[in-house]
Structure 1
């Protein structure tokens, strides 16, 4: 019988991976700031057209802008955390599902324990039983 099992992927922090993460976070912040600027521009444009109620229009755009500002704060927090973490730390990168073959006689504790894949600089360095 085959079952689905969650697998945690962890990344070992190296100098290169730390720089990549910084770059990803900064690019994410830049993209969000561009989106905020675009929303502000669109808001002014829509206000001039007067097709929609100014109050509801403003509420809608402010909600979108506020959501992106929160994401920027999250990126800032992640950057601060990255500064604190020493090289060699393990970061949870993602969670995947794998197909696992279960047969009669298998140790159930080992089956449900799950697995963790450890990646260092893009290369699988270890597969652990949890």
Structure 2
């Protein structure tokens, strides 16, 4: 388990926009260096639809992802990941075996809702 040693100021934490979105499309990403999917996530009318590369192939099938709500950082600058521009960071937790478990709300919330 990783120790948390650095503290962060409340003002800095508030700058990170962690929002809920619904995955509306999931595709294979064969060009990725490590197995990954390309996700399209709907964050509602204010934020819109964002694309992301996600290394979550160990635990999730493409069919199981569509319709799932996820928590993502929506205010990082876009990042080139192979041939796609990743526009948000879908969050999750690494298990001991390296697989990623998605961070998800346990009840439905409106797309675009910000972490409180």
* TM-score, length-scaled by structure 1: 0.24
Greater strand share, structure number: 2
- Structure number with greater CO (CA < 8 Å, separation at least 6) is 1
| TM-score calculated relative to the size of structure 2 | 0.26
Structure ID, larger Rg: 1
